[in-house]
Amino acid sequence: MLLQVLGTAAGGGLPQWNCACPGCAGARVHPERRRRHASLAVRADAGRWYIVNATPDIGDQIEDTPTLHPGPGARQTPLAGVVLTDAELDHTLGVARLREADALELVATAPVREALLTGPRLGAVLGPYTELCWRELDTAPLPLGPELEAVAMPIAAKRPRYAAGTGDDDPRWVVALVLREPATGRSVLYGPALAAWPDALHDAAEAADCVIVDGTFWDEDEPVRTGISIRTASGMGHLPIDGPAGTARRLTGLRARCLYTHLNNTNPLTDPDDDRHKQLADLGLEVAADGMVIEL
């Protein structure tokens, strides 16, 4: 299985256009600290790739990744489709950027599909430009090609703000994704937004060869302490890395290679010299980097 990390930042990216926090200020002074919105590309078979979450950066992310470049035909592309883990804007705005396609396959759970069709009216807006071909993502394995299948791990009923008053408490609003290679049994668990850690998710993490999960906030009080919110990390739908409820203690000891993604601009891990990188390394954990290639 071949993975390409396209981005590792939370909503707003790093730096965020209207933010002068230490993380954003540092990224402006040190361009190597810049991070694009969290996204992942995975090879489905020879010459075919799926992108997990279509971010506002998707055009630049494709251009920075030679394996995703078009050719040899004038409009021949290796992009087979987009898999969505939720309906948040930072994970879906890039769909509009792909409107030049003759047809675009979108893989999403039923609540996410409905939200995008009725909130931003994605079908009506993009209909004159391209055909959106929807496939339902659920808890049963969904073949994405001869070398890849996807399974949704329901996490939470957290809706995007534009859909706050719609739908029921379906935990498929936000899912983690298990990507599995049937021929070898190798799998990766990708969960950029984790409001909870259900037993099924833990079982998937134990079985996976690679785990890439929510690293939005270092600790529970970070959003309040830094002044970006009156809610805690978990109150905003993100389990923190550190602390009693943190994910670091859940990941430590897994056989899988474990990495964090979806870093908020307030997270001290955006500074490569911060001592907390060593804390993670001592636990056998990593922070994913934009452009990283992972082969399982």
CATH number at residue 90: 3.60.15.10
Describe the strand order of the beta sheet including 103-108 as a list of residue ranges.
131-136, 103-108, 79-83, 48-52, 39-45, 2-7, 293-295
Asked if residue 272 belongs to a domain, the reply is yes
Asked if residue 237 belongs to a domain, the reply is yes
pLDDT given at position 165 = 82
Indicate the SS3 state at residue 78.
coil
Q: How far apart are CA 184 and CA 147, in angstroms?
A: 9
Please list the residues that pair with 43 across neighbouring strands. Answer: 49
Q: Which domain holds residue 243?
A: 2-289
pTM beyond 0.75: the answer is yes
pLDDT given at position 147 = 87
pLDDT given at position 166 = 78
C-alpha to C-alpha distances, 148 to 46, 59, 235, 259, nearest whole angstrom = 11, 24, 34, 21
CB atoms within 10 A of CB 211: 27
Asked if residue 296 belongs to a domain, the reply is no
Please state the domain count of the chain. Answer: 1
pLDDT given at position 168 = 81
Q: Which residues of the chain have pLDDT under 70?
A: 167
pLDDT given at position 245 = 87
Location of structure tokens 């992310």: 61
Asked if residue 18 belongs to a domain, the reply is yes
